[in-house]
Amino acid sequence: MATALYDTTLRDGAQGEGINLSVEDKLRIARRLDEFGMHYIEGGWPGSNPKDAEFFMRAKDLGLKNARLAAFGSTRKAGARCENDPQIRMLLDAETPVVTLVAKTSALHVRHVLETTLDENLSMIRDSVAHFKAQGKEVMHDAEHYFDGFKLDREYALATLRAARDAGADWLVLCDTNGGAMPWEVAEIVRLTIDDLRSPSDQSSVVNPQSSIRFGIHTHNDAGLAVANALEAVRAGCTQAQGTINGYGERVGNCDLIPTIANLKLKMGDDCVSDAQLRGLTELSRYVAEMANQAPNIRAPYTGHAAFAHKGGIHVAAILKVEESYQHIDPARVGNSKRVLVSELSGRGNIQYKAREFGLDVGREEARKVLQQIKDMESRGFYFEGAEASVELMLRRAQKGYTPPFELIDFLVVVENRQGRGLLAEANVKVRVRNGGEEIAHTAAEGDGPVNAIDRALRKALLPHYPQLADVRLADYKVRILDSNSATAATTRVTIDTRCGSRTWTTVGCSTNIVDASWQALADSIEYALT
C-alpha cells in the first residue's frame, strides 16, 4: 500500500496567522517538496491574488521531477457557465496538470452560504469537473464540510460526490473543514461513503468506472485530531492524505504532514515514501519553518529538537543499556538524533553520557561530584539544559590537571550619568593569565553598559595572550528574573550565546546581582572558547 501525499502548504498553510510567503519563498518550498518526494503540490488559488498568479506563471519553469502541481479553485458560480466564469479561466491559465475544485457538500452551506438551490449546486459540480476533464486535467474534487454535511443530510452529501464522480473526477477528497470530527466518526463515515459509491447496485456512474474511484482525506486540527483523523481515514480506505508541513494553516492549523508521513511509513507499513526520503523529514520540517519565518516547534513529534531528548536519570540510565527502552523509533530514521539533557533531575548516567559526547573520560566519582554541583546550582536558579558549554566546562574543571586559561582576581564597574556625556559605564578588570606562564593583567575599558564594559576590559586583558579571541563574538544576551516578588533584589539568570565562525555555544550565570550573573556567563563563554 502506498498513500499519495498531497501538500497544501503553499495555499492552506499560507492562510495561517503570522505566515506570509513571498513568491520566491513559495518557489523554494515547492522545489524542496519535490526533492523530498511529495506526490502533489498545491500552489495556490490563481484567481485570488496577484502573488499566486505570478507563482503559477513562474512555476512552469520549476521542472518538477516527482510532484504534480495543482491549482486550487472553486466550482463555477451559480447560474453561470464555465466558459464565462473568470475564476475557471484563471485555473486553466495556470496550466497545471492537476486542478483541485472545492465544492459545497453540506445542504446548510448550499442554502445559506452559496444561497442557491441543492440541484444547482449539483449542476455546478458536474459542469466544473466535466469542463476540466475535457481539458485533460487530473481533477481533485474537494468535498468541503463533508463530515458535517454527512451528519446533517447524508443523502445530499453522497449526491454531491456522485455528481463529481459521474462527471469524471479522479479523486473524491473528504474534508473535515471545521476540524471538529472525532476519529471514530471519520472512520465510520469514510467506510459508509466508500461502500455507497462503490456499491454494485449504484449504476449511475457513466463516465468514471467505479473501480477507478479514489478517495482522499483533508482534515483540520481544531479539535487536535487532524493527524489521527487522517490516519483513520486511510485505514478506512482513503488512498490520498492532504495536509501542510508543520501543520500550518488557518485557525489552529491543518493536518501536519510531518507526523502523518512518519506514522504511515513506520507504524502502518505504508510505502508513501522511501526509507531515504523519510530520513529527510526533519530537514524538510525545519526548512519550511525557516522559509515561513516560524520558530520550529521543539516538541514536534518525530522532528522536534526535543522529540528524542532525555532528561530524567532513570530514563537515561535505561537508554544507555537499551536505546529503544525510552524511544519508540530510532530517531535517525526520520533524520533526527537522540539528546541527553543535564539538570537537577539527571542521574550519573546523564553526566557520563555528556562527558563522552564532549570527548572526555569522566569517572564515576567525578561524575557524581559534577552532578551534585549541578543540582546545588540549579536549586539556586541556574539552568543547564540550554547551556551545555557551561556543563562541559564543569566536566573539564573536574579533570585532574585542568588549569583554567585565566582567573578573575577582581573587577570594578562604575556607571555614571555625567552632564554633557549622558550615561557612561567603565570597568576595571584584574585577571591572572595562564598561557605558558602566569601574568597579572589589569585593564580598563568603557562600554555602552556595565556588561559591555566588562566584556571589553576582559578582552583587552586576554587578547595579547590569546589572539584567537579576536574572532569570538557575543551573539545574544538574555536576562530572566526568577523571583519577581523580590523586586529589585530578585535573583537574575543570564544566558549568553557566543559565536566563532559557524560554531555557537551557550553559557549561564545566576546571582542576585545582574553584573555578577553576567560576569559568570561571560567568563565561561571566553574560557570555553579558549579550551
Cell of 228: 489521527
Whether the CB-CB separation of 335 and 280 falls below 8 Å is answered with yes
Cell of 476: 545574544
Say how far apart CA 253 and CA 248 lie, in whole Å: 5
Q: What is the pLDDT of residue 200?
A: 59
Count of beta carbons in the 10 Å neighbourhood of residue 460: 15
Report which of 168, 109, 105 is spatially closest to residue 133, judged by C-alpha positions. Answer: 168
Which DSSP category does 327 fall into? -
262-292 burial, b for 16+ CB within 10 Å, e for fewer? bbbbbeeebebbeeebbebbbebbbbbbebb
Backbone phi, then psi, for 445, in 5-degree steps?
Answer: -155, 150
Q: What is the pLDDT of residue 169?
A: 96
Whether the CB-CB separation of 238 and 193 falls below 8 Å is answered with no
Low-confidence spans in the chain with pLDDT less than 70? 200-211, 311-313, 315-323, 339-349, 351-352, 354-355, 358, 383, 386, 483-489
Count of beta carbons in the 10 Å neighbourhood of residue 138: 17
Whether the CB-CB separation of 129 and 77 falls below 8 Å is answered with no
Q: What is the pLDDT of residue 366?
A: 75
Domains in the chain, ordered, with CATH? Answer: 4-273 (3.20.20.70), 309-397 (no CATH), 406-465 (3.30.160)
Q: What is the pLDDT of residue 120?
A: 92
Report which of 5, 2, 3, 4 is spatially closest to residue 284, judged by C-alpha positions. Answer: 5
Full DSSP string of 429-463:
EEEEE-SSS-EEEEEEEEESSHHHHHHHHHHHHHT
Long-range Cβ contact pairs of 369-375 (< 8 A, separation 24 or more): 369/398, 370/394, 370/395, 370/398, 371/346, 371/347, 374/342, 374/343, 374/344, 374/346, 375/344, 375/346
Going by C-beta distance under 8 Å and a sequence separation of 6 or more, which residues neighbour residue 164?
103, 125, 126, 129, 141, 143, 172
Q: Which H or E run includes 352?
A: helix 348-357
Residues in the chain: 531
Cell of 294: 516560524
Say how far apart CA 474 and CA 498 lie, in whole Å: 4
Going by C-beta distance under 8 Å and a sequence separation of 6 or more, which residues neighbour residue 176?
146, 147, 148, 186, 218, 219, 220, 226, 229
Amino acid at 80: A
Helices 281-291 and 23-36, axial angle in degrees (round to 10): 180
- What is the greatest pairwise CA distance in the chain? 96
User: What pTM, to 2 d.p., does this model score?
Assistant: 0.77
Amino acid at 490: A
Say how far apart CA 382 and CA 83 lie, in whole Å: 69
Backbone phi, then psi, for 165, in 5-degree steps?
Answer: -60, -45
Ordered alpha helix ranges (H), 167-212: 183-197
Full DSSP string of 244-274:
BGGG--STT-B-BHHHHHHIIIIIS---SS-
Say how far apart CA 157 and CA 144 lie, in whole Å: 10
HEC-encoded secondary structure of 66-133: CCEEEEEEECCCCCCCHHHCHHHHHHHHCCCCEEEEEEECCHHHHHHHHCCCHHHHHHHHHHHHHHHH
